[in-house]
Amino acid sequence: MKLKVISLNVWQGGNLFDEIVEFLLHENPDILLLQEVYNSKDAGLARNLRCFDVLAGVLNMPHHHFAPALVDNRAEGNIVQGNAIFSKFPITGSNVTFYDHPYREDYVDVAENFATAPRNLQHVQVDANGTELNIFNIHGIWDLDGDNDSERRLAMSKAVVDAVSGKKHVVLAGDTNVKPETKTIRNIEKHLTSVFKDELMTSFNMRRKNNPGYASAVVDMMFVSQDFKVLEHVCPNIDISDHLPLIATLEFD
């Protein structure tokens, strides 16, 4: 059976919302993992701040799960932000793991707070025509230095390894906020195969970045267990977010 998976950091719920929707409708994935998803229930707010519900209404993916990480105190109001997974297949179970800092309701999204923003690992079980898939959506601990194997990042990698160990049909993807050549990522690669390993120069959309350092930073990644065969994978250089999407077609028995 084939499975099309897409991962994308949507950038504040989707600052380029029309472009994201057009892209997702065209690509038509089976599994979609998103980071920086807003989930306001106020119908009067912009669509990016209602990202989860709006996408649930327009995508051909009837099953979805939201993993709140924090409440962003914005001018528009206090709005929950987190990870989201959408699926064409039924979601039969879920859990959420915070790496260290717990969910908080007083977060303000300014640069001096980035490093302490709560982040989590979202996990859902999916019934893909009788086969259980374990889908993990990662949003990693931020640090301006992508090479820094801080204690927090190493603890994050341990949490990931503990979560995926012993499971079959694992897909782990998202914005790790750390570069591939770090011990943090090597710890994960002892258990899972990196789909894009050493292939990408950057996973950022440089049309939306001012710091030239992002041009050589890969932080968005996808990993799979050995019971998946990777048929195709691509990271298209398109203008739908400040990150680039990861797309992979996988096959499993």
State residue 132's pLDDT score.
Answer: 98
pLDDT reported for residue 43: 97
pLDDT at 128: 98
pLDDT number for residue 214? 97
The predicted structure's pLDDT at residue 180? 97
Per the prediction, the chain carries an average pLDDT of: 98
Rounded to an integer, the average pLDDT of 149-154 is: 97
Q: What is the pLDDT of residues 44-100, one digit of tens each?
A: 999 999 999 999 999 999 999 999 999 999 999 999 999 999 999 999 999 999 999
Q: What percent of the chain is predicted at pLDDT more than 70?
A: 100
Which pTM value belongs to this model? 0.98
* Confidence tier at 210 by pLDDT (50, 70, 90): very high
SS3 state at 184: helix
CA angle 76, 98, 28 (to 5 degrees): 70
The model's confidence at residue 209, banded by pLDDT at 50, 70 and 90, is very high
The answer to whether 35 touches 56, Cβ cutoff 8 Å, is no
Q: Taking the mean position of all CA atoms in its chain, how far away is CA 148?
A: 20
Token reading at 90: 């039924």
Distance, CA of 252 to CA of 232 (rounded, Å): 13
- What is the arithmetic mean of pLDDT over 171-195? 98
User: How large a percentage of the chain has pLDDT more than 90?
Assistant: 100
Angle between helices 51-58 and 17-27 (to 10 degrees): 40
Q: pLDDT value at position 24?
A: 98
Which helix (H) or strand (E) segment is 56 a member of?
A: helix 51-58
Which residues, other chains included, contact 144 with Cβ-Cβ below 8 Å and sequence gap of 6+? Answer: none
Task: Give the architecture-level CATH label for domain 2-243.
Answer: 4-Layer Sandwich (3.60)
Structural domain boundaries of the chain?
A: 2-243
pLDDT for residue 225:
98
Give pLDDT, residue 162.
Answer: 98
Tokens read off for 91 = 């979601």
| CA distance to 108, 134, 167, 174, per residue, from 1 (Å) | 44, 15, 19, 23
What confidence score (pLDDT) does residue 139 get?
98
CA pair distance 100, 117, nearest whole angstrom: 10
Q: How confident is the model at residue 174 (pLDDT cuts 50, 70, 90)?
A: very high
